[in-house]
Amino acid sequence: MKIKKLFLNLDDVANAALFLAVFIGIWQLVFVLGIWPKISLPSPATVAESFANIISNYTLFKGIGITLGRLVVGFFISIALGAAIGFAMIKFKGFGKTMSSFSAGLLSFPSIAWVPFSILLIGFNDAGILFVVIMSSVFSITISTYSSIRNIPPIYIDAAKNMGAKGLSLFLHATIPAATPSLIIGIRQGWSFAWHAIIGAEILMSIVGLGHILSVGREFQDMGQVIASMITIFTIGLLVDRLLLFKLEEKVRSRWGIE
């Protein structure tokens, strides 16, 4: 059971390969049928060529590096800020109530709608992009911190207090660990919001990064580059979620015995 988890499951790999083969097959078929002009829908081979092109001139790697760098900085600020607001909401009940409806509203606020505000307030620069990323993900962290702590079964807190925990020790040894399974879900969600936001912000606000590569592809009517960037964005999103966040969540869940 444990060994199976450590290695890639062969069935899963076979299924994924089959799915991919069928997808590329249909794509090729649609291309051959000529429903769209070649410039609007290039063949898989042309996209592979574009891929090779942006890989060999390092555009892609530079773009990935810049985007992920911004994302990591923005996301960590989000976690720190979101958790701090969440804790304050627990501590001050009135603030918690108000902020929780406010955050719920901002949670569904489209990230792209922050762009004009950010350009005018901060400028057409890295800090402006970070601002969009933070505003798009911080409220998901805030709400998840708040609700994770509020939903802790009171018996854990009672037991910990009874055994002498209070103040900081109660917080570190009972509150945080008891809230962890649902905190991680919030962090996963926050990450996905941050990821949406950075690509959107880069398309509109950046002269480097993955989002910019995408928007250059559009400007030069280079559909090959557009699709190659999209595939890259998809792959990175998938890898980070599956290899990092999902693994983390699974680890906690298995320790707790949650199926």
Q: Give residues in contact with other proteins (CB under 8 A).
A: 155-156, 158-165, 169, 173-174, 177-178, 180, 252, 255-257
Nearer to other proteins, 44 or 177 (CB): 177
- Using the minimum distance from each CB to other proteins, give the nearer residue, 27 or 171: 171
Distance of closest approach, residue 160 Cβ to other proteins, in angstroms: 7
Nearer to other proteins, 32 or 93 (CB): 93
CB of 178 to other proteins, least distance (A): 7
| 111 versus 175: smaller Cβ distance to other proteins | 175
* CA 172/CA 178 separation, integer angstroms: 10
97 in Cβ contact with 114 (< 8 Å): no
- If one counts every other C-beta atom within 10 angstroms of the C-beta of residue 7, the result is 7
Of 94 and 257, CB closest to other proteins: 257
Q: Residue 33 CB: number of other CB atoms within 10 A? A: 8
Q: Is the Cβ–Cβ distance between 225 and 50 less than 8 Å? A: yes
Least distance to other proteins from the beta carbon of 186, Å? 17
Do residues 138 and 75 lie in contact, with contact meaning Cβ atoms separated by under 8 Å? no
Let me know: does 182 contact 144? Beta carbons within 8 Å.
Answer: yes
- Nearest distance in Å: CB 185, other proteins: 15
Whether residue 136 contacts residue 118, with contact meaning beta carbons closer than 8 Å, is answered with: no
